[in-house]
């Protein structure tokens, strides 16, 4: 089944403790992206990747890192999480740009 998977789905952590949210797609898509979604706001893009080893900042990249060593995986790294990064995070992939995007199920992150 074609899908985008994210892990974990739920995560509660403390300020400053490094964490990684994994994202994997099995559709051989070149374009992958991370978004955060907060109440009352539209999805905001954090980082995106056009292909392996090619990443770029989105609208809200501060406090996040990404890597794209393989086509299928696009992990999101929070080196030192802070409470303002408490949010719902979505990974998405698509074959082309501008993308017909396929979204993962989301990761709800709480930073205390």
Partner 1 sequence: KNQVEQSPQSLIILEGKNCTLQCNYTVSPFSNLRWYKQDTGRGPVSLTIMTFSENTKSNGRYTATLDADTKQSSLHITASQLSDSASYICVVSGGSNYQLIWGAGTKLIIKP
Stretch that binds partner 1, among 20-28, 35-43, 63-71, 75-83 (CB under 8 A): 35-43
Among the listed residues 1, 40, 69, 112, the single contact to partner 1 using CB under 8 A: 40
Angle at 61 between CA 56 and CA 67, to 5 degrees: 50
Q: What strands, in cross-sheet order, belong to the sheet with 19-25?
A: 4-7, 19-25, 76-78, 65-66
Is 42 among the residues that bind partner 1 (CB under 8 A)?
A: yes
Specify the residue, 45 or 49, whose C-beta has the smaller distance to partner 1: 45
Is 23 among the residues that bind partner 1 (CB under 8 A)?
A: no
Q: How many CA atoms lie within 13 A of 26 on its CB side?
A: 5
Q: How far apart are CA 107 and CA 76, in angstroms?
A: 11
Among the listed residues 1, 69, 98, 112, the single contact to partner 1 using CB under 8 A: 98
Task: Using the structure block, give the residue that is written with the tokens 């996040």.
Answer: 64
Stretch that binds partner 1, among 17-25, 64-72, 73-81, 101-109 (CB under 8 A): 101-109
Among the listed residues 24, 25, 45, 55, the single contact to partner 1 using CB under 8 A: 45
């Amino acid at each position: 089944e074609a899908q985008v998977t994210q892990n974990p789905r739920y995560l509660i952590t403390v300020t400053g403790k490094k964490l990684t949210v994994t994202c994997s797609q099995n559709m051989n898509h070149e374009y992958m992206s991370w978004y955060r979604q907060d109440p009352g706001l539209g999805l905001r893009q954090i980082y995106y990747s056009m292909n392996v080893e090619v990443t770029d900042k989105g609208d809200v990249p501060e406090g996040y890192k990404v890597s794209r060593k393989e086509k299928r995986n696009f992990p999101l790294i929070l080196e030192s999480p802070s409470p303002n990064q408490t949010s719902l995070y979505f990974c998405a992939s698509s074959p082309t740009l501008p993308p017909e995007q396929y979204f993962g199920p989301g990761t709800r992150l709480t930073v205390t």
